Chain A
Amino acid sequence: MAEMDTSGGGGHKKGPGVKKAKKASTRVDLTPMVDLGFLLITFFIFTTTMSQPTAMQLNLPKDTDKPEEQNKLKESGAFTMLLGKNDNVYYYEGQLDPSASNLKSSTMKKIRDEIIRKKRSTPEDDLMVIIKASNESVYKDLVDALDEMKINDIKRYALVDISDVEEQLVGISDNRPQ
């Protein structure tokens, strides 16, 4: 049926000894072509679904100066992350010490353990994670930090502007040789 006639090797020369030249079949084996077709189909199906971009929702609070509209949070439940240069993350619990002694250093990869530890040791209603990005940090760090909130199922978190003191501290710590 569908196959190439390969039997016509030698002896096709016309001569008095040959009675009838065998007619070569015109049928070609289409199996490889079908293989190729389906391979391409699979490729297209995969690339179409892959290109669907996903998105991360972010709701911002309205800026307010009225103290009664601002959220109160317990000092014991506060966990502040400062995003620095090169994936560096600094964090402190509660309020920042004037001497910055409770400021600890970590990286984006290791911060998850700290967030989990804080989450386990704090009543759920008290926990609040505050993310402050320094001027040296990049967009990726911010998305990673917000992603970390999602991964660890943190209900309350906020993106807050960094203070000058914290900015300086992050700058000093970033430039300190490791």
Chain B
Amino acid sequence: MSRPKIARKSTSVDMTAMCDVAFLLLSFFILTTKFKGEEAVKVATPSSVSSKIAPEKDVTLVSVTKDGKVFVSLDNEAVKEELANQLNSTAGAGLSPSDIALFKKASFYGTPISQIKSALQIPSDKLTGASLPGIPVQDTAHNELTTWMNAIVRAHGTSTKMNLIVKGDNVVKYPIFKNVVTAFKKNDQFKFQMITNPESVPNGTDLWRKYMKGEVTTAAE
């Protein structure tokens, strides 16, 4: 009586399928990740306990760099085109149709209105915050951001909601920020948001207690 020998099975599993899945997911995540536009304007933002996510659509972003230069960027192409027309008609920017096409492609603007035309000729890969003078705001009497904001508000019209965002650097002096806010106020823009890095709520404070009680879920009201 001889028993048939049971073949001992190997314990190692074929990893090929799992490897396929891993790399499929990997490529999915790499392709869907939206990279931040190569930080042409470098800003180190302060942190706050606010956990509200900044809006991403129809954004008007006013960046203030550490040397006090002010830049404006918009994401909506239709609004950009309208903005170019508004700058032509109200501020005399003198942009030709080909300039307007370039204006639509530009990722940010940071020149006095008189220099927009020449700044548009700079190829976009060479365009950095350091090479542009920024929109002049230092002088309260000739705060050009007011003119920009005026054109931007009109370019948005009544149909598009305007999300006004300020992204300021840690070391920007307060008077510059104040001039930026003055430019908003003059154009009846009283609501805006400030980009910050998230920070945890300190223990034992009133906001922390509110979280614990579950009265609020985010720091934004």
Contacts and interface: CB of A to CB of B under 8 A. Distances in A.
Asked if A pairs with B, the answer is yes
Interface of A: 1-3, 29-31, 33-34, 37-38, 40-41, 44-45, 47-48, 51-63, 83, 112, 116, 119, 133-144, 146-147, 150-153, 161
Interface residues of B, number: 62
Nearest to B11: A1
Contacts of B16: 2, 30
Nearest to B201: A151
22 contacts: A1-B10, A2-B13, A2-B14, A3-B12, A30-B15, A52-B54, A53-B45, A55-B193, A55-B195, A57-B191, A57-B221, A60-B181, A60-B190, A60-B192, A112-B205, A134-B174, A136-B174, A137-B174, A138-B173, A139-B173, A144-B48, A153-B210
B98 interface: no
Given A37-B22, A139-B168, A56 B193 contact: yes
A166 to B, nearest CB: 13
A54 B48 contact: yes
A153 B177 contact: no
A53 B56 CA distance: 10
B6 interface: no
B194 A58 contact: yes
Contacts of B192: 57-58, 60
Contact of B206 (A37, A48, A57, A153): A153
Nearest to A44: B29
Contacts of B46: 139-140, 143-144
